[in-house]
Structure 1
């Protein structure tokens, strides 16, 4: 693309890339001086030029002007960045049906459910916390909601690969940082809003406002799907221009689940959609997955997918790694790995653990809390575990440069009656849970899910992943098979 096709009176330079991170090497690129919480892109113009920038888009005065570089001053760098990314990648979101999912918990699950149901007949991509997937491509995740250039670039690649739709996780931070301003959403889905990211947003009011902006900006032909049972569910869509559709369990909704049976290996319920009723059988478990299913069904049905094309697929979902993943190596006790890292998420998993565990047996929980993040929720984690668990093993969970022991002690402030121990190595904590489990006990390993990294004192470090560690520990300590090493092959 020629620079003069983007900016009037600019030279006829070939632009090969966009960037806002001056550390990346991108020859013949446009550098956008984005202001973040910690850094201001205006400070790194010289570095960006060394790494290939031939055009600088800025809003504040720049002192050292390089005569060989084109400088374009704008009122709002982020607005320009979004608009130019959309132009540079040829408006990819306009060529796809975009399902955007936001909320504290359930984004990954709903996005993957939509993709799994739709993908057989409508080639569908996924972008989120777990991975980036489309066709036969599976890439590591970037951010829950990638940066502006990365996001448009991935959507462009999906279009080139023949995708017709995409399920995209939309985080509150991504919304606050305006990463999706020029994404053309067809369906916007709200899952729930509970305590999370308050280290970033400061208050629940600010957190809610960030989420609400997603629905406020939805186009008039879009569909806003919301959880009627959530305290924020109706308020979040009150100013949307899109068509509002509700789902829920406890309150009457457009898509409502009644007559629910939660089993050890699945769930049955009746789905009421206005005057129609459908019997639903699924291999998904736990109440929160009923909400995830309802959101997914409502989203797909609202886009014209018939119920008889949706319902038969609900009973044969492959397990999503790290999301209520049942680890089954034939052992006589339950082991569940989940990404839950918020008070509500942990409570939901522990409630399910209580449902499937006989009263005479134990729930053993392994979890921690992230370092340098939302300190207020640590004792709350302890209170929740104290209510549901019989043994608590506190361990590391992305401690960064905090001491694992100190984080664990803060969690323990909420533990009043349940026995707990601190095992700083997550690897050893899972081993200890497996070693102490008896027949029909339940082990809940929470916080990391399928993540194969740990943020420590010196940055991102490799980690096997809770799901893999659990499997290997069961083989070793229940069956006496193999040797265990905390290394990635």
Structure 2
């Protein structure tokens, strides 16, 4: 009897999985009515009411009409929140904020006399998030919000959840790497998780557009920077936790701790979904007091998947939830996509969807842009574009393709500049182990010398001479396609859906999908 699991490992007793899920969902949904109200205009707040733990110097209280963290955007009467940053510190710009007419300053340290009140806090980023949500009328409280975090799979899992809800008749907002969708229109995204002020605005727009649910990717940066302060999540999904972003977090332990902070935002009745096959994710059980659903392929779990068959254009697996088993046929191939489907299914079941509805939603997704996305132009070999930019992701994508390729597996990839250097040899090693031919090229070099980055990648090879090096990414893609023969498969990894390449501080057009498609159309013989 597979049911909801509490943090202690106890099973919550009930008759069947679907019944248990429905019972949990009813109790959980009763907390928040689905009646949608349009967010009110930003209104005045008492600073003491919003931040009662803060120390206010120079005033008994401050009425807040607006808050900003950019001194250049201060308007008369605004509250200026000084945020520490990696490149600059907002505390260095408090004088400019006062000059522009701010009413008070939120600061993490005492300031010299400036003629305005100073609100001292331990974490100005968390204070900023809470203020933004309060000023917007707390729109997140009128939505059921699902937060998805993890090293790999956030985008795919989030998109699957959103599509599943939409197919079930719900109106859904979606925030993540592919864009910010408010239920009606989509904006380009520069960050996986928006800054706190934008987050409040998007939730406000979702409420105004009558969304009942919001699905959001939650990055480790967003958690470390308290962007979710003031937001309560109804469900949390952790896909997996492996090495990434150590250029920012410095140590793997700091990175794991940042990921674990997502549970600080989970409501007391909220549901967690964890990957039982991922050791770090499974270890998070001890941090969770509420109900948990586990998913897995190898380990014992409440929701499991078993691969039946895999082809170059689709795969079929059995999804088991409690006593029910149903086949899922999906156009997205790879074991990692089975995990993504299981995680999305767990969220759907936890929200009261029945298993057939969940499966219809999963099967309706043909592809996620740049996530092992197939390019089909009539060529006699496979071509896939993928966002894989960690050692585990590169290995996972290559192994997924290894099972369907008859000939050689050719991999084109690079590594991002100004990012974790220590993962580069691991990426090189993964590619050498799992591909037959490796073409190393530029990714987003940013301020680094592309050849130095390629040197780091090569240091992970047992036989560096076996790799081909073509610095220009477009030329590298063309070369890989030109060497492909019938039955081969080309994986273009690293940038996925991205349409630009960052060199220095400039962005230049660079779309892997478009580059490959154009080359194929121009160089393949006409099919009569």
TM-score of the pair, normalised by structure 2: 0.85
Structure 2 unmatched runs, 5+: 1-41, 50-59
- Match of residue 78, structure 1, among 111, 114, 125: 125
Conserved? CA contact 2:160–2:344, under 8 Å: yes
C-alpha separation in 2, matches of 1:431 and 1:22: 47
Report what 2:22 is aligned to: none
Distance 2:208 2:264 in 1: 30
- Does structure 1 residue 402 correspond to structure 2 residue 448? yes
Q: For residues 117 and 294 of structure 1, what CA distance do their matches in structure 2 show?
A: 12
- Residue of structure 2 in register with 1:385 after alignment: 431
Tell me how far apart the structure 1 counterparts of residues 470 and 78 of structure 2 sit (CA, whole Å): 48
SS of residue in 2 equivalent to 1:209: helix
The whole-number CA distance in structure 1 between the counterparts of 2:442 and 2:228 is 33
Give matches, 1:75-474, under 5 Å. 75-120=122-167, 121-358=169-406, 361-417=407-463, 419-457=466-504, 459-474=505-520
User: Given the superposition, is the C-alpha separation of residues 26 and 422 from structure 1 closer, same or farther in structure 2, using an over 3 Å criterion?
Assistant: farther
CA shift for structure 1 position 377: 1.1
Q: Does 1:61 align with 2:110?
A: yes
SS of the equivalent of 1:258 reads: strand
SS at structure 2 position matched to 1:238: helix
Higher relative contact order (CA 8 A, sep 6+): 2
Task: Map 1:9-48 to 2 at 5 A.
Answer: 15=65, 17-24=66-73, 29-48=78-97
- Report Cα offsets for 1:155-194 as digits up to 9, x if no partner: 1111111111111111111111111122110110010111
Shift of 1:23: 4.5
* CA distances 1:305-360 after superposition (whole Å, capped 9, x unpaired): 111212123223132211111111121111100111000000000101211111xx
Gapped runs of 5+ residues in structure 1?
482-489
C-alpha contact 2:182 2:205 (8 A) present in aligned 1: no
Give the alignment's Cα RMSD to 1 decimal: 2.2
CA deviation profile, 1:121-159 (whole Å, cap 9, x unmatched): 111111111111133311111311111111111111111
Judging changes above 3 Å, is the alpha-carbon distance between structure 1 residues 127 and 217 closer, same or farther for their aligned structure 2 residues?
closer
Alpha-carbon spacing, 1:376–1:442, altered in 2? closer, same or farther (3 Å):
same
Per the TM alignment, residue 452 of structure 1 is displaced from its structure 2 partner at its CA by 1.7
Measure how far apart 1:480 and its partner are. Answer: 8.4
Which TM-score applies when normalising by structure 1? 0.91
Count, aligned residues: 474
| Contact 1:255–1:294 under 8 Å retained in 2 | yes
